Amino acid sequence: MSTIHFVSLGCAKNQVDTEVMLGVAGLEGYEHVAAPEDAEVIVINTCGFIEAAKQESIDTIFEMAEMKSEGRCERLVVAGCLSQRYPTELADQMPEVDHFLGSSDMLKLGAVLRKEGGRMMVGNPADFTMRATDPRRLTNRGHSAFVKIAEGCNRSCSFCAIPSFRGKQRSREIQDIRQEVELLAQAGVVEICLISQDTISYGRDLEGRPSLADLASNLAEVEGIRWIRLHYLYPEKLTKQLVQTIADHPKILPYIDMPLQHASDAMLRRMRRGHGGQRLRDVVDRLRAQIPDVVIRTSFIVGHPGETEEDFEELLDFVRWAEFDHVGVFLYSHEDGTKSGTMDHDVPEKVARQRRRKLMQTQRPISRQRLKARIASELEVLVEGPSEESELLLAGRWWGQAPEVDGCVHLANGEGAPGELRKALITNSGDYDLVGDLLDRDGEWNPPPGTRRPRKRKIKLRTVNS
């Protein structure tokens, strides 16, 4: 068989696109190989979101181009957001690349592999929306899969260029998404993570305006699916129906991934977020009041033009108050074609990096405390496979940890198969990970002789309005 190697950069949405291209390659008779030097065709699915991601994509292209002289590579294909955003520039400056595909051209890889495609094959992203019938080969561990429910974005955040090269939002019909989830369930998937650029706006462009709550409730009926996780829920559109659905439905996890970006009124205005800091406090209180044991992940941007020391201190105060379970921090990046890119009062990179470090230092003990509060509890854990830490351990995730971003649970004193949902007794914790003993399939704890059961720690966490 002919051989192919993929490099997938960027977000989970890019990962889904790469998995579709893996499916296309399989249909064309190509064998996927792990080592690029063994591949006759190399495909790089690039990210073009921020400057650091663009540089990583460019460095990877040049690194893989060396396989044309050092390995078996005969053709190099560059796909994804970077080639969608800068097709002409890349084509002029990278003669090593044989084919360019855009962010919505995954299915065109078939023509490339049949040697029917030209060099420039970047299309209009508005012409494409993923379908359940598109071929796909999963790459996630632990019988988990991302499901892309829409393409594009209608937002006008001042710092983001994504709508300019991903197009306007295009939601998939509920029945098409359900068909894909049913196929995934038949393949052994037990956890689905719903993603898009603006997941909470799902369905507003469809006839009848189905909601995200409608979609999640429908997918929860699919036999075999045990966990449904919702990503990228923006606060100003968090409806009563959706909050109630998350609170009530046993399969829809009480896990809120809500990118907030900042907490200062002045910065939220400059970022064009459509709300102020008090709205964020109200949302956090509402989630904690209405969803028992809710886990909240968020992300922030530091170093945006105009961010003062007072703005940053307000953000730190908000993080201390909110006590989020998981926080990511990004450095602001000037992007072509964005409103923020034309603003005055740039923040020096050194200052921005100091702020990111300080924000993460502020969050670390909060994450540690929230995980420590789980000690002595029994949590449902999705077993993913052998641990990278030790051959004597298994790795898994409890429902409060999303794939790839939130740490893991190191599992000892038991046996489990990838894809199993099992109870684990939590025995220890760190800054971002938990340690636990797998209970047997009857729910019994069978530790080594002399082991004492862990005791619940007395930890005060913020409650509503405290």
pLDDT, tens digit (0-9, with 9 covering 90-100), for 82-121: 999 999 999 999 999 999 999 999 999 999 999 998 999 9
Instruction: Average the pLDDT over each of 13-17, 186-190, 439-443 and give the range with the smallest value.
Output: 439-443
Taking phi first (over 0 means left), then psi (-120 to 50 degrees means alpha), and beta for anything else, what does residue 30 get?
A: beta
Amino acid at 196: S
Per cent of the chain over pLDDT 90 is: 73
Residue 428's pLDDT band (cuts 50, 70, 90): very high
- The C-alpha R_g of the chain, in whole angstroms, comes to 23
Residue 281 phi/psi, 5-degree rounding, is -65, -40
Query: Contact, 3 vs 31, CB < 8 A?
Result: yes
pLDDT confidence of residue 164: 80
376-391 confidence digits (pLDDT tens): 999 999 999 888 877 7
Burial class (CB in 10 A: 0-12, 13-18, 19+), 444: exposed
pTM: 0.92
Q: What is the mean pLDDT of residues 233-260?
A: 91
Please name the residues in contact with 432: beta carbons below 8 A apart, sequence gap of 6 or more.
367, 371, 406, 407
Taking phi first (over 0 means left), then psi (-120 to 50 degrees means alpha), and beta for anything else, what does residue 365 get?
A: alpha
pLDDT confidence of residue 156: 83
Rounded to the nearest 10 degrees, what angle do helices 212-219 and 174-186 cross at?
Answer: 30
Q: What angle do CA 226, 382, 424 make, to 5 degrees?
A: 115
Residue 427's pLDDT band (cuts 50, 70, 90): very high
Q: Which of 168-177, 268-277, 390-399 has the highest mean pLDDT?
A: 168-177
- The CA distance from 110 to 404, in Å, is 29
Give the residues across from 295 on adjacent strands.
255
Cβ count near 133 (within 10 Å): 10
Please name the residues in contact with 170: beta carbons below 8 A apart, sequence gap of 6 or more.
126, 129, 150, 151, 152, 205
Q: Which domains does the chain have, with CATH numbers?
A: 2-127 (3.40.50.12160), 144-370 (3.80.30.20), 378-438 (2.40.50.140)
Residue owning tokens 């919702």: 230
300-317 confidence digits (pLDDT tens): 999 999 999 999 999 999
Residue 466's pLDDT band (cuts 50, 70, 90): very low
**Mean pLDDT across the chain, nearest whole number?**
91
Residue 326's pLDDT band (cuts 50, 70, 90): very high
Query: Contact, 352 vs 50, CB < 8 A?
Result: no
Residue 444's pLDDT band (cuts 50, 70, 90): confident
Following CA atoms 346, 351, 357, 361 in sequence, which dihedral angle do they give, to the nearest 10 degrees? -100
DSSP 325: S
pLDDT confidence of residue 462: 67
Residue 460's pLDDT band (cuts 50, 70, 90): confident
| Residue 124 token pair | 């209009």
Q: What is the mean pLDDT of residues 53-61?
A: 91
What ranges make up the beta strands (E) of 112-212? 120-121, 144-148, 150-151, 170-171, 191-195
Which among 102, 113, 139, 121 is positioned nearest to 42, based on CA atoms? 113
pLDDT higher than 90, residue 36: yes
pLDDT confidence of residue 274: 81
Q: What is the mean pLDDT of residues 148-153?
A: 93
Per cent of the chain over pLDDT 70 is: 99
Cβ count near 330 (within 10 Å): 19
Q: What is the mean pLDDT of residues 21-26?
A: 96
Please name the residues in contact with 175: beta carbons below 8 A apart, sequence gap of 6 or more.
none
- The CA distance from 177 to 203, in Å, is 12
